[in-house]
Amino acid sequence: MARLARTMIKIMLPAFFLLSCCLGQVRGGTSEGYINDISEILRRGRLSGSLEYWGACNSDSWVRDLPKLQPTRPDKALPPVDQIRAMFAPDDMMRITKEKDGKVRMVEIDVPNDLLNIKIHHIWFPNDDAYGPYSMMDMILGSDEVRKFRREHNIGPTRDWLPYLPGDRNSTGPVFKSRPPSQLNDVTVAEALDSLTETYPGFWLYESCREADGGRIVHFNFYMISAPDSYPVIDAAKH
């Protein structure tokens, strides 16, 4: 029996260490519910921004998992950026910065930004109140340049269908004091997404995931955090 036990241990130990190694590489997996906490911190600070990270995408679900984080108690005396840093403290790869224009960047330093750097030559947005940030985001991600890059580099899904269609600015929603730009020329995907936050306060999400076959899935989303009547008015004509 002792010899059998030793033999079983020898067989199981390599498998155990292999499993531990693989589990250690898993990224993301935190509940999307913490989006509300991030949104509230940004809202109180009258800030917008972006979140870029490695996740565990589920292509069959609209639910997005988040990076490692920990809940923090609201503290009005603490600057918003410091509160967000405290939330993401468990994630060694996460860096939180605030740019001069007030955008807060929440970025894991090892997440690939290839899709975000794709340059789009021209995007035209309908001058219609029925179109809002999600419809505009769908147009950005559906541009020829983005779709071509996804195909050539095997980055799924071929289209990130957002859970909003034209009409997301409806009569029950907030009335915005500024209008989005009618078009954008020669902008990167990141710059185009940033343009949404100048009319609709919030932050865009970029989640990159590894697939079992070595490929990648990249999901985008946009979280509008507040009606912008309490935010500085942006003159879209100047952008």
Q: pLDDT tens digits for 53-108?
A: 999 876 555 557 899 999 887 777 889 999 999 999 999 999 999 999 889 999 99
Helix axes 189-197, 133-141, angle to 10 degrees: 180
Taking the C-alpha atoms of residue 43 and residue 46, their distance in angstroms, rounded to an integer, is 5
Average pLDDT score over the chain: 76
User: Which one has a higher pLDDT value, 4 or 110?
Assistant: 110
Residue 167, in any domain of the structure: yes
- CB-based contact 109:142 (threshold 8 Å): no
Find the domain containing 141 and state its range.
25-238
pLDDT at site 63: 57
At 5 the three-state DSSP class reads helix
pLDDT at site 127: 67
Is the pTM higher than 0.85? no
Residues 6+ apart with CB under 8 A from 165: 134, 135
Residue 193, in any domain of the structure: yes
Taking the C-alpha atoms of residue 59 and residue 159, their distance in angstroms, rounded to an integer, is 11
CA dihedral (97, 164, 62, 189) in degrees, to 10, reads -40
The contacts found for 78-87 with CB under 8 angstroms, 24 or more apart, are 79/45, 80/41, 80/42, 80/44, 80/45, 80/47, 80/104, 81/45, 83/41, 84/38, 84/41, 87/34, 87/37, 87/38, 87/41
Residue 231, in any domain of the structure: yes
pLDDT value at 171 more than 50: no
Residue 20, in any domain of the structure: no
Residue 14, in any domain of the structure: no
The number of folded domains in the chain is 1
Task: Give the containing element (helix H, strand E) for 84.
Answer: helix 80-87
Residue 138, in any domain of the structure: yes
pLDDT at site 9: 42
Q: In the structure encoding, which two tokens stand for residue 1, read together?
A: 């029996």
Q: What would the mean pLDDT of 9-22 be, rounded to a whole number?
A: 38
pLDDT at site 110: 95
pLDDT value at 192 more than 80: yes
Pairing of strands 119-124, 202-210: unpaired
Residue 2, in any domain of the structure: no
pLDDT at site 147: 92
Q: What would the mean pLDDT of 191-201 be, rounded to a whole number?
A: 89
pLDDT at site 1: 52
pLDDT at site 12: 44
Residue 3, in any domain of the structure: no
Residues 6+ apart with CB under 8 A from 159: 141, 142, 147
